[in-house]
Amino acid sequence: MVACMAVGGLIWIAGEPRSVETLMGETGPVERLTTVSYFLCAMFAAAARAQDPDRSTTLALVIVMVAFALRELDWHKAYTGTSVLRLSWYAGPAAWTTKLAAVAALAPVAASMAWLVWRHAVPTWRDWRAARPVATTVVVFFATLALAKTLDRMVSILSFDLGVHVPLYWVALRSSLEECLELGLSLLLLLGLAQYRAARR
């Protein structure tokens, strides 16, 4: 993950801000690569855990990874013009049928995440304290996810909430670091699945 941030920083240093935004911004080629990586993660999860008797965890992992890919494709706002992941949207003027459809689409993802936390949070914590590779990868994944989401929200908070003007070159740095970290997240998932398969063998 440090290497991913270093690559993001080097891209920012080497490129002109608008070019960096084109390469690293929303709908850019790096984000598309991240999307493909999440779909590969879903397929690899099914393959790596094919012999695992815990079918519920395998299904939950596949659902969550596909959801990550669809999130990168902006499906969470493609049909409403705004994010259905925000609780405030459900208190807004959207039709109740649209809200119901959004809930129905998100319910399997929420249930899968809840299952993974309920089933694996405590064992993962114990394994992390014992320095087991898969658990370490999981912890690094969530730490990186928190950092990436902080970077994602930083510019909008500064601009819209605090009224601070953010120059384009800082926006480009944010985009470069965030997209490299998000690509790294998908690579971490692939690493964790490979570690799990190796441990099973």
Q: What is the pTM of this model?
A: 0.85
- Nearest Cα to Cα of residue 103 among 125, 80, 121, 126: 80
Q: pLDDT by residue (tens digit) across 41-70?
A: 999 888 878 777 888 989 999 999 999 999
pLDDT of residue 153: 78
Q: Domain of 134?
A: 2-200
For residue 81, pLDDT over 80 is answered with no
Contacts of 41 (CB under 8 A, 6+ apart): 65, 68, 186, 189, 190, 193
Tell me the C-alpha to C-alpha distance, in Å, between residue 190 and each of 65, 133, 183.
Answer: 11, 13, 11
- Nearest Cα to Cα of residue 69 among 104, 41, 29, 46: 41
* pLDDT grade for 159, boundaries at 50, 70 and 90: low
Split into its structural domains, the chain has a count of 1
